[in-house]
Amino acid sequence: MMKETTTDILVIGGGAAGLSAAAEASSSGAKVTVVESDLHLGGQLVKQTHKFFGSKDEYAGTRGYKIADILLDEIKQNEKNVDVMTNTTITGYYIEDGMFTAMRGEESYIRIKPKKTIVATGAQERLIPFPNNDIPGVYGAGAVQTLMNVYGVTPGHRVLMIGAGNIGLIVSYQLMQAGVEVAAVVEAMPKVGGYWVHAAKIRRMGVPILLRHSIKEALGDRVIDGAVIMELDDKFAPTGAERKIDCDVICLAVGLTPTTEILSQAGCDMRYVPQLCGFVALRDRTMRTSNPDFWSAGDATGIEEASAAMVEGRIAGLCAARSLGLPVKSDRFDEYWSRLDHLRAGEVGEKIRAGVAKVMRDRWED
Amino acid sequence: MDLIKEHPVLDVGYFKRHARVEFTFDGKHMEGYEGQPIAMALHANGVRVYRETPDMKRTRGFFCAIGKCSSCFMAVDGTPNVRTCVTPLEAGMRVETQRGKGRVAINPPAGE
C-alpha cells in the first residue's frame, strides 16, 4: 500500500520562493510540507557566490548561498510546523481527488493530500539547436553551477559560454573563481543583456564578450572538444565570418522558462507571456491562481530575480495561511507589496511590470 | 580528481563532501563522497559518457543536474534509467554505462 500523508499547506519547491512561503506560512501556525526534488533545500540560492542587489529587505549585499542559510534558520524557528521531504519529486496531481503523487528517490512512491498548495517549482533552462548539442560537454548553466559551487567539482578546463545575460555573465565569473578558463562569451544580440557590473568584471579579467555572435556547431566525436562560432548581421543571419574555439565545455545560458506542469494539471488558467518567458498562471494580488486552492510564487510565475521570488513566496505563504482561517498580520501584505513594487521599479523592471500586468486579475469569476 | 582545491569566496568546507567511499564504474574502481550525486562523483573521476542512445548510439552525459532531462540515466546496481544527477552515491555501488533503453525486471504480484 502506498504511503499517504496530509498537510495544511504543501509547498512544491524548496528554493528562494518555496522557503520564503514555508517560513511565512509556518510562522502563522500552519502545518507545512516542503517537497524538494533535489537532495537538499536552497534551490538556486546555494549556488550563488555573488552579493545580491535589490533592497536591504531582500538581503542586498549578502552572497546568495548565505541567504539560503538565513531562510533555513528562519524555518528552524517553527520546525515543529514544517516537514521537509528532499529527493522527492511530485509526479502528478489528480484534480478529482485533490491528490498529489510523489516519488522519493527512484523506488518509493507516496501520496500527499494537502488543504492548500503553493507551487514554487522555479524554472528550467532553455536549449538552442546546433549540431552536436546533445553530446557530453554541452551543459546547462545551472548544472555547471551545481557541479562547481555545490559539490566542488571542476566542470572542465576551458569553457565557451553561450549567452551574455546575467546568468551567462555570473557563471563565467564563477568559473574563473573555480580556476576554469573561459574562452569567450558569445551573444547573438547587439548588446549585453545582463548588468554592466557583471560584464565589466569578466572583461577586466580578459574574457572577450563577442556580441552578434552565435554557436554554429559543437565539435567532437564522443565528447566535446571544440566549437565553431559565427558572426551574425543585424537580421541575425550569418555573415560568413567563422572561428574555431578550443573548449571541452559549452555552457548554455540562453534563458529560462517557468516550470508549470502542476499548475496546468490543477486546471489553473494559464497564459503565454513573452515578458515572463513562458506559460504562467493568471493570479490575483494574493498570488492565488484561478484554482482557489493553488497559489504560485517565484520563477514559476515568470522569470525574475531571486529577490522578487522571496517576496512573492512571502505573499503566497501569508495568504495561503490566511485562507485556512489562521491569524496572520495583515499589515504584512501591504508591506510585501511595497517591497515587490520597489524591486520592480524603474527601467530594469519595465519588462516584468508589463508581463505581470497581463496576468494579474482583480477578482476571479465564479 | 577534478576537484576545486581553493576558492576566493567559498570555504572548501562548504562543498558537500562527506566520507570518502569506493564504488565501481563499468568494473573500474573509483572513489567519491558519500551522498553526493553519482553523476558528480563520476565527473570528478573524469567520466563524461554516461549512456548511449538506443538507435543512433549517440553519447549522453551530464546535462541539467536537476533530474529532468534524462541525459544522465545509468544502470545502478542493476537497475536501469537511474537519474544519476539526483541519486546519492553509496559505498560499494555498481554503476554502469547504460546502452539502449535498459530492461526492468518485472515481478507480477502473487496471485496474478
A243 touches B: beta carbon within 8 Å: no
**Residue A325, min C-alpha distance to chain B (Å):** 36
**Is A304 exposed, middle or buried (CB count within 10 Å of its CB: 0-12, 13-18, 19+)?**
buried
CATH number at residue B73: 3.10.20.440
**Residue B89, min C-alpha distance to chain A (Å):** 11
**Residue B57, min C-alpha distance to chain A (Å):** 10
Q: Which residues of A touch B59 (CB under 8 A)?
A: 135-136, 222-223
Where do the structural domains in chain A lie, given as residue ranges? 3-124+256-359, 127-252
In a domain, B91, yes or no: yes
Domain count, chain B: 1
Best mutation target among A151, A171, A250, A254 (most B Cβ atoms within 10 Å) is A151
Given B60, B63, B82, which is nearest A143 (Cβ)? B63
What per-residue confidence (pLDDT) applies to A319? 97
User: How far, in Å, CA of A124 to CA of A300, rounded?
Assistant: 9
In a domain, B12, yes or no: no
Amino acid letter at B85?
Answer: C
A139 touches B: beta carbon within 8 Å: yes
Residue A243 has a CB neighbour count (10 Å cut-off) of 14
Given A40, A136, A152, which is nearest B59 (Cβ)? A136
- The dihedrals phi and psi of A135, each to the nearest 5 degrees, come to -90, 155
Q: Name the strand (E) or helix (H) holding A357.
A: helix A350-359
pLDDT tens digit at each of 366 positions of chain A: 578 999 999 999 999 999 999 999 999 999 999 999 999 999 989 888 888 877 777 788 888 889 999 999 999 999 999 999 999 999 999 999 999 999 998 889 999 999 999 999 999 999 999 999 999 999 999 999 999 999 999 999 999 999 999 999 999 999 999 999 999 999 999 999 998 999 999 999 999 999 999 999 999 999 999 999 999 999 999 999 999 999 999 999 999 999 999 999 999 999 999 999 999 999 999 999 999 999 999 999 999 999 999 999 999 999 999 999 999 988 999 999 999 999 999 988 999 999 999 999 998 875
Q: What cell was used for B5?
A: 582545491
A257 touches B: beta carbon within 8 Å: no
User: How far, in Å, CA of B65 to CA of A212, rounded?
Assistant: 29
Q: Which residues of B touch A151 (CB under 8 A)?
A: 15-17, 33, 36-37, 40, 44
What per-residue confidence (pLDDT) applies to A60? 80
Q: In the structure, what pLDDT confidence band is assigned to residue B5 with cuts at 50, 70 and 90? A: confident
A61 touches B: beta carbon within 8 Å: no
User: How far, in Å, CA of B10 to CA of B66, rounded?
Assistant: 22
Architecture of domain A3-124+256-359: 3-Layer(bba) Sandwich (3.50)
Q: In the structure, what pLDDT confidence band is assigned to residue B112 with cuts at 50, 70 and 90? A: very low
Given B6, B10, B85, which is nearest A149 (Cβ)? B10
- The dihedrals phi and psi of A296, each to the nearest 5 degrees, come to -145, 155
User: How far, in Å, CA of B96 to CA of B77, rounded?
Assistant: 8
Same fold, A3-124+256-359 and A127-252: yes
In a domain, B2, yes or no: no
Architecture of domain A127-252: 3-Layer(bba) Sandwich (3.50)
Q: Which domain holds residue B44?
A: 19-99
Nearest CA in chain B to A36: B66
In a domain, B110, yes or no: no
**Residue A227, min C-alpha distance to chain B (Å):** 17
**Residue B83, min C-alpha distance to chain A (Å):** 8
Taking an 8 Å cut-off on Cβ atoms, the answer to whether B14 and A65 are in contact is yes
In a domain, B104, yes or no: no
In a domain, B105, yes or no: no
Q: Name the strand (E) or helix (H) holding A204.
A: helix A196-204
> What is each CA distance from A136 to A14, A127, B80, in whole angstroms?
29, 14, 19
Residue B38 has a CB neighbour count (10 Å cut-off) of 25
Q: Which residues of B touch A153 (CB under 8 A)?
A: 2-4, 40, 43-44
Cell 567559498 belongs to B10
